[in-house]
Structure 1
């Protein structure tokens, strides 16, 4: 159980960010309650269109009033099951109405949710459940033919302190398992309302509400606790960049388990009173069908999908994207050809975002970067002299680039350095952080592990270079894989690409390319090298080996798992 009395943040930090206006008295439940009062009969939340195939229940559409009613009923059921203030609830549910209801119900009574990817199995449940101290674990009976409840029961006995395993559906599905509590969305009774009121929980914005998990691209996942304060200030980036309003219809294909979905969709939806349409796991026909049928105005998509659509005019002619006005993308460098093509050929602005669970939040919006090439290549350098940025978060964030060898601050353009960041969205520290390396410097800045360099005529931009630990050192020369990946992504045969270092006794490392190709395409090492030579890159950056895979390995939230590619090389 997390210590609610202490909260996550120190009085000094609270005073600093409240003085800036970044942190306020707002809590998530109060914002939700405000939206219910403002838009009671407006459609708030929509299930995935293929819900029957996923979880066995028909898709639902709820108004804000109906959603609030079911949240209250679920909050009463949680209290009946013994959930107490500060208890951590492990949540392994697909995107849908019930997932959002559980989050809101838990926060209404002072519980903490720890979202878990649907791909996780017993190993991850044990590790995360033990680290976070799950008091309750909630899943679905079945997900696309996988017996989720049975798996949860198998792991539950080994998680210390776990008291309840439950399923949550919109209607009873199948025979309940012994020892599993069956929660079903329902309309609140007067007794439910009275029970929640009698519980008497009053939220403090410093109270923790989530424990999300780092993506673990290079190490075991680490818990990232967050409170109302940091989540709600972070949320403004997700509202301001796409300029969301209550008239928007948001389609969320990202698993609602971390920063991307919380800042990109869930909390901006609550802030604005827009409509949230759920989707999970990614299924192209369903996704495009939802855009058309729900008249979606804003969604997110990975760079590879955007590039594929841009190149495939036949596919574009078969789908209706006419309602879309902007699309967010990130998790990998965007190509200028993609961003420019979507804007000029399709009339849709692509927003470039770069974030992390720990608190990096950089977004390049059409307002700040009207030139799509600049929007693909650069992010705002908050704090640059004589430059104003559109989002209010620019006034709250401080950044610096640090030379990895000297530890000195970098002020000149073109010199790579690690991004250090401070602001109201930066997390307080890892769960059980005393067991981990300190992620902050002496001044409290988060050491991001990401390499950027200053760019732009006024030194107003940041250009992403690479992750510090991804750098390839070949014969004493540093090579940034992202640079080569960005160039090879433009090759007409390439669907997605990763560049890693292949161990070499003579050179230290050699450049190794791993690519997934478009249907019926072919690519040789010589062709890849010739393509790069035509871009006039230095010869030491040319690939020396090429591997073709059907698809590149990714974690549950879509991040490339380069460690898997490296370990395959060792074997």
Structure 2
């Protein structure tokens, strides 16, 4: 799927920026062209269908190129946050066929095939329509066509992302073609284009990017990156690029209220990644003069809940909204019986986007017998079907 989407995005959006980070800018055409060359390089190195390719890279165009390249040959991308203190342990547990990294991010790994990319230079060109040189991809890129496309397979694994590890060791969560297609269908439907540019608030290895890349490609959304997220830089970029949507975790959004200076004019604020206090939702709405939406999901579920821009203001203050299209929500007691409105119990989610399973360590009991995923969070439903969280593990 990603191979087809990347090619069509290149045809439709061409020179539009797909990823921009400081002086680094790659268009949708660049992404398709360069990922073809890296796909050829991966195949030349013996990476096969189903092999795991671990990306221990800073957030940047390199990550997206390598992710698309692996998908084009049927390999599984495992993104690992280059700043994560346990990155070496996470890498070891995945036992990848190939590791792609950048200088000084990993120690020597005897017995593993490791490709260390050169220090990333400026990746833009002054000539319109001319792709940037592939020298920054080092020996990973080959000037030849990629292998032929693979036949469709909804069960084919595509990407591994990790839970946050706030309540224990991070777990490796696997998503395949079927899950990514469900997320694409929900986020983009049948339309092409009309994607609002966004500042990425999570690492690229996080599910917020790793599982949403199909949506980004189909909508032609430009993804802006910061070398390291901080409130002053984030606000300045949102102002400079005139972004219409501001998104982040509650902690990030709270930090954005502290700096003094120019305030961006946005049309929507999205809070996700943990429960937001009612006072924060009110302050955000007052400061930016825009609707604030509260989003909720756990990594394993793929899709979750959210309030809508046209909901009453108190909806985002007191609840995390209703299930999104195609998502089933259940609140159950300790015996696994569904509870009526007002009954407090465990929150479970089900959709076609629910993970394939864990890779390595992970508790299979996260799945209920009827396919629901146990989030580990507690809450209750009100008479309007909105979920009120009482306790959360914040596993995303």
TM-score (norm. length: structure 1):
0.61
Secondary structure of 1:184's partner? Answer: helix
- The structural deviation recorded for 1:431 is 1.5
CA distance in 1: counterparts of 2:244 and 2:391, whole angstroms: 32
Q: Secondary structure at the match of 2:269?
A: strand
1:466 is matched with which residue?
A: 391
Is 1:293 equivalent to 2:293 in the alignment?
no
**2:57–2:102: 8 Å Cα contact kept in structure 1?**
yes
1:423 match: 351
2:262 aligned partner: 319
Structure 2 residue 229 is matched with structure 1 residue 282: yes
Q: Structure 1 residues 282 and 209, CA, compared in 2 at 3 Å: closer, same or farther?
A: same
| Match 1:131 to one of 63, 88, 93 | 93
Residue 380 of structure 1: how far off its partner (Å) = 3.5
Question: 2:40, 2:144 within 8 Å by CA — same for their partners in 1?
Answer: yes
1:74: which partner in 2? 38
Mapped contact 1:298–1:325 kept (Cα < 8 A): yes
Q: Aligned partners of 2:247, 2:390: CA distance in 1, in Å? A: 23
- For structure 2, the 5+ residue unaligned runs are 123-133
Q: Which residue of 2 aligns with 1:229?
A: 178
- Judge conservation of contact 1:230–1:427 (CA < 8 Å) in 2: yes
**Deviation (angstroms), 1:208:** 0.6
Distance 2:242 2:144 in 1: 35
> Deviation at 1:359?
0.7
**Relative CO higher for 1 or 2, CA cutoff 8 Å, sep ≥ 6?**
2
Which residues of 2 match residues 455-534 of structure 1 at below 5 A?
A: 455=382, 458-467=383-392
> Which of 293, 299, 305 is residue 351 of structure 1 equivalent to?
293
Distance 1:560 1:133 in 2: 23
Structure 1 distance, partners of 2:280, 2:71, is 39
What is the rounded CA distance, in whole Å, between the counterparts of 1:103 and 1:46 in structure 2? Answer: 16
1:445 paired residue number: 372
* Counterpart position of 1:485: none
CA RMSD of aligned residues (A): 3.0
1:440, distance to aligned residue in structure 2 (A): 1.4
Q: Distance in 1 between matches of 2:195 and 2:370?
A: 42
Q: What does residue 62 of structure 2 align with?
A: 98
SS of residue in 2 equivalent to 1:430: strand
Equivalent residue for 2:320?
379
Task: Give the C-alpha shift of residue 200 in structure 1.
Answer: 4.8
Distance 1:237 1:352, change over 3 A: farther
Q: Give the aligned partner of residue 385 of structure 1.
A: none
Equivalenced residue count is: 383
Q: TM-score, normalised by structure 2?
A: 0.86
Measured at CA, do residues 238 and 341 of structure 1 come closer, stay the same or move farther in structure 2, by a change above 3 Å?
Answer: farther
1:340 is paired with a residue whose SS is helix
Are residues 1:192 and 2:121 paired? no
1:92–1:116 Cα contact (<8 Å) kept: yes
Q: CA deviation at 1:68?
A: 1.6
For residues 244 and 359 of structure 1, do their structure 2 counterparts lie closer, same or farther at Cα, with a shift above 3 Å needed?
farther
In 2, the alpha carbon distance for the partners of 1:129 and 1:309 equals 33
Distance 2:322 2:59 in 1: 34
SS at structure 2 position matched to 1:334: coil
C-alpha contact (below 8 Å) 1:169/1:185 kept by paired residues: no
Structure 1 residue 71 displacement after superposition: 1.6
Q: Distance in 1 between matches of 2:369 and 2:84?
A: 36
* Residue number in structure 2 paired with 1:140: 102
- Matched with 2:16 is 42
Structure 1: state its 5+ residue gaps.
Answer: 1-26, 50-58, 142-146, 173-181, 383-392, 471-558, 562-571
- Please report how far the alpha carbon of residue 430 of structure 1 lies from its aligned counterpart in structure 2 after TM superposition: 1.3
Report if aligned partners of 2:278, 2:318 keep a CA contact under 8 Å in 1.
Answer: yes
- C-alpha change, 1:171 and 1:341, in structure 2 (3 Å) is closer
Q: What CA distance in whole angstroms lies between the structure 1 residues aligned with 2:84 and 2:285?
A: 37
Q: 1:193 to 1:349 in 2, by over 3 A?
A: farther
Q: Name the CA shift for 1:560/1:31 in 2 (closer, same or farther; >3 Å).
A: closer
